């Protein structure tokens, strides 16, 4: 690739000017000087480095800084850190250099970003889960580290075309698993939507393309409907002398995909494919009054769906999000979602964290994201579990809807939907949670596992003699409560687990079973325990008794017996007759790009059947397990253990074909194309799907796409073609 350095340098300079122009924050002279210095340092440090696409590496940090400045709206310190986020890891520039030139705050954020990247490899842990945990732990230092990391991920997702397919799927799965939920929780809804759409583009390209095309096909009609609806609505609002702007927008491709999946419906049956947003001008004291006034005008003209009213003005989301959402029956009997926001509310919805601080006044009580961050820091400080458990627990609360409940003194608190009475106790304070003896909801004693609903008033009864038990984990859903409970019982559990191991050994011996790795693995699956320590602990405290162990032994021995019977008889199971036709068509699984046939077993969690979309997962002690692509565990496995995932698919072994592309080149002569095509056509095992030859100055190049039953036939074909007079080189792709 020939690079015109003058053109490239001009483009870099223009990118810098645009960075200053698009900044959401007002930049003073000192801010601009600091950003210029960071920019020059980044340009010099990255020097001749280039990305896989071939462009200068410096374009990546500049793009990340632009996302931070415009879409997320952070300050000059964050913009500088974004420009320098890769220098400490990839260049000679050190954190000490950054601190000396740009100050402690920039250096601290860059250090946080570097900590996330520098992960030592350990085969005994999930590298990605550990990476996620490291990233989340940086929240203890500065939330801006996470936000810049999200911006970094967004730009990587936007420029992933140059990467190999397996990397695209891995990065997209990670993004869906942790980065998009994090963006949602920090209030960066636009960033979240883009991350989700881009992830779907790489994890399920056919699904993504299908929905995208259908959205584009219906766009003209949809735009016309929105225009007509907003024209009428605007006329009614102007009668009340309101100052406002009305915007129509399509739902994201990913949100349509999720709705189709969760409701098991086609694209045509997704009715709310777009929403209308009314953004009105108001001073802060009149915001609530005007929002309900607009609501009243809308519902005077259109029938509302009472079950779809969402009042996040009276009780904002914990992300700081405020708005009224209503769904009304519009013209042509179509349901239309309308979002009502003031300009301030809209900025918070668009920018999240940055706008929250812009509008925070004086000694205003901490709300929204600050409360969540404070609670999250406590979760991080109490965390003692393994990385995968930690990330799973943390993820539970990232996308959860909220409920609003009251303390005995009438203070309003928000909790994730599905939270229990015991979750509330830990939400109030970790020490109150650990000493919970009982809970009253609306003046009535309830079980600790009671699921709360909006409007409940809750009182926690404590006792100094109470301490958390393992059963409490069954009574909570929030990561905060789970983390504190696990931390409290961890030491005791370790001691009891040692006792339990010996007890289990004796009991298995009496049942004529060895405490082997395979037996323990089967026990974990049978009793649905996450790890060996958990099994040993449950045995020690008696929650796995002799009767249950006997039932397991019987089940395990039957399993082994059936396995050996199948191996000896290899007879057809009569219960599978109805699936026989399908199974005969798709009777074999092949793995990886080489389409290898490998020993495997079907995962019990999703039990894919022949023809289903699948992937292989290399377990630590049971070989390859085959999972359905829609398996509830799929995203977690692909994200936390991407290095163990193998692409796979069902095939019909009787008609299996291999596709190959052959690139030919050599000295052109009359009749060479005819000779090549004749040679291929005479081979009954080879089909030509596409062929193209070009000639220039007695030199020819050709590309032939063929299908063959196996690789031996392809190898033989290449050998025969190489004997054709004039062919100099054959490259097989």
Enumerate the active-site residues. 89-90
Query: Which residues contact residue 71 at a Cβ distance below 8 angstroms, ignoring those fewer than 6 apart?
Result: 151, 154, 188, 190, 191
Please tell me the chain's helix, strand, coil percentages from 3-state DSSP, rounded to the nearest 5.
55, 15, 30
> Based on the number of CB atoms within 10 Å of its own CB, is 303 exposed (0-12), middle (13-18) or buried (19 or more)?
exposed
In three-state form (DSSP H/G/I as H, E/B as E, the rest C), the secondary structure along 42-78 is HHHHHCCCECCCCCECCHHHHHHHHHHHHHHCCCHHH
Helices (H), 159-204: 165-174, 180-185, 189-203
Query: Which residues contact residue 106 at a Cβ distance below 8 angstroms, ignoring those fewer than 6 apart?
Result: 34, 38, 77, 80, 81, 84, 98, 99
Q: Which two tokens stand for residue 477?
A: 């859903």
Q: Which two tokens stand for residue 509?
A: 């011996």
Among residues 222, 327, 231, 237, the alpha carbon closest in space to that of 279 is found at 237
Return d(Cα 80, Cα 36) in angstroms, integer. 9
Among residues 354, 31, 309, 45, the alpha carbon closest in space to that of 188 is found at 354
Among residues 161, 165, 109, the alpha carbon closest in space to that of 138 is found at 109
Do the Cβ atoms of 702 and 694 come closer than 8 Å? yes
The beta strands (E) that lie in 90-179 are given as none
Return d(Cα 419, Cα 247) in angstroms, integer. 35
- What DSSP string describes 256-286? HHHHHHHTT--GGG----EEEEEEE---GGG
Return d(Cα 521, Cα 369) in angstroms, integer. 42
The torsion angles phi and psi of 526, rounded to 5 degrees, stand at -65, -45
Return d(Cα 129, Cα 143) in angstroms, integer. 19
Buried/exposed 145-177: b ≥16 CB within 10 Å, e otherwise: bbbbbbbbbbbbbebbeebeeeebbbbbbbbbb
């Amino acid at each position: 690739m020939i690079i015109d350095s003058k053109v490239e340098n001009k483009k870099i300079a223009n990118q810098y000017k645009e960075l200053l122009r698009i900044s959401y924050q007002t930049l003073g002279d000192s801010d601009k000087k600091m950003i210029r210095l960071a920019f020059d340092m980044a340009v010099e440090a990255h020097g001749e480095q280039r990305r896989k696409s071939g462009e200068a590496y410096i374009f990546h940090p500049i793009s990340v800084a632009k996302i931070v400045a415009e879409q997320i709206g952070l300050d000059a310190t964050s913009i500088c850190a974004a420009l320098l986020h890769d220098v400490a890891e990839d260049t000679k520039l050190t954190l000490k250099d950054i601190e000396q030139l740009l100050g402690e705050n920039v250096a601290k954020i860059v250090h946080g970003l570097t900590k996330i990247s520098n992960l030592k490899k350990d085969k005994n842990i999930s590298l990605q889960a550990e990476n996620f945990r490291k990233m989340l732990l940086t929240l203890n230092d500065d939330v801006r580290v996470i936000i810049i990391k999200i911006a970094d991920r967004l730009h990587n997702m936007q420029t992933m075309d140059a990467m190999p397919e397996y990397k695209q799927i891995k990065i997209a799965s990670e993004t869906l698993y942790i980065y998009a939920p994090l963006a949602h929780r920090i209030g960066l809804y636009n960033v979240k939507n883009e991350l989700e759409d881009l992830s779907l583009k790489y994890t399920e390209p056919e699904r993504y393309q299908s929905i995208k095309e259908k959205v584009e096909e219906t766009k003209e009609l949809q735009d016309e409907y929105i225009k007509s609806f907003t024209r009428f609505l605007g006329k009614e609002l102007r009668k009340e002398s309101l100052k406002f702007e009305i915007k129509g927008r399509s739902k994201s491709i990913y949100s349509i995909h999720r709705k189709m999946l969760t409701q098991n419906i086609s694209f045509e049956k997704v009715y709310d494919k777009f929403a209308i947003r009314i953004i009105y001008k108001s001073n802060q004291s009149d915001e609530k009054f005007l929002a309900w006034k607009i609501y009243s005008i809308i519902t005077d003209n259109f029938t509302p769906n009472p079950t779809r009213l969402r009042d996040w003005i009276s009780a904002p989301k914990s992300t700081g999000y405020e708005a009224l959402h209503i769904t009304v029956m519009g013209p042509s009997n179509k349901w239309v979602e309308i979002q009502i926001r003031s300009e301030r509310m809209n900025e918070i919805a668009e920018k999240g964290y940055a706008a929250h601080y812009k509008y925070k006044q004086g000694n205003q009580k901490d709300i929204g994201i600050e409360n969540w961050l404070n609670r999250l820091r406590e979760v991080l400080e109490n965390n003692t579990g393994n990385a995968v458990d930690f990330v799973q627990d943390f993820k539970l609360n990232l996308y959860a809807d909220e409920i609003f409940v009251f303390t005995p003194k009438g203070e309003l608190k928000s909790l994730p939907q599905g939270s229990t009475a015991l979750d509330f106790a830990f939400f109030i304070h970790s020490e109150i949670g650990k000493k919970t003896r009982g809970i009253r909801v609306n003046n009535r004693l309830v079980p600790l596992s009671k699921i709360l609903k909006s409007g409940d008033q809750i009182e926690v009864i404590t006792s100094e003699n109470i301490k958390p038990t393992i059963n409490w984990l069954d009574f909570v859903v929030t990561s905060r409560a789970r983390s504190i409970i696990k931390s409290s019982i961890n030491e005791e559990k370790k001691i009891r687990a040692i006792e339990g191991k010996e007890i289990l050994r004796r009991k298995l011996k009496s049942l004529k079973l060895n405490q082997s790795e395979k037996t323990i693995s089967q026990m974990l699956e049978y009793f649905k325990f996450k790890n060996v320590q958990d099994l040993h602990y449950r045995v020690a405290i008696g929650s796995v008794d002799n009767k249950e162990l006997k039932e397991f032994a019987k089940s395990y021995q039957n399993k082994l017996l059936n396995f050996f019977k199948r191996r000896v008889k290899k007879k057809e199971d009569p219960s599978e007759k109805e699936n026989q036709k399908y199974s005969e068509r798709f009777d074999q699984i092949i793995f990886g790009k080489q389409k290898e046939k490998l020993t495997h077993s079907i995962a019990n969690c999703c039990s894919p059947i022949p023809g289903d979309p699948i992937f292989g997962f290399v377990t630590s002690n049971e070989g390859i397990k085959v999972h359905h692509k829609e398996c509830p565990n799929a995203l977690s496995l692909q994200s936390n253990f991407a290095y163990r995932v193998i692409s796979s698919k069902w095939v019909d072994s009787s008609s299996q074909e291999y596709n190959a592309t052959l690139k030919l080149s050599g000295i052109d002569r009359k009749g060479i194309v005819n000779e090549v095509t004749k040679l291929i056509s005479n081979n009954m095992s080879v089909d030509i799907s596409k062929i193209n030859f070009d000639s220039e100055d007695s030199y020819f190049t050709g590309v032939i796409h063929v299908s063959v039953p196996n690789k031996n036939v392809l190898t033989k074909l290449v050998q025969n073609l190489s004997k054709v007079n004039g062919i100099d080189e054959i490259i097989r792709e």
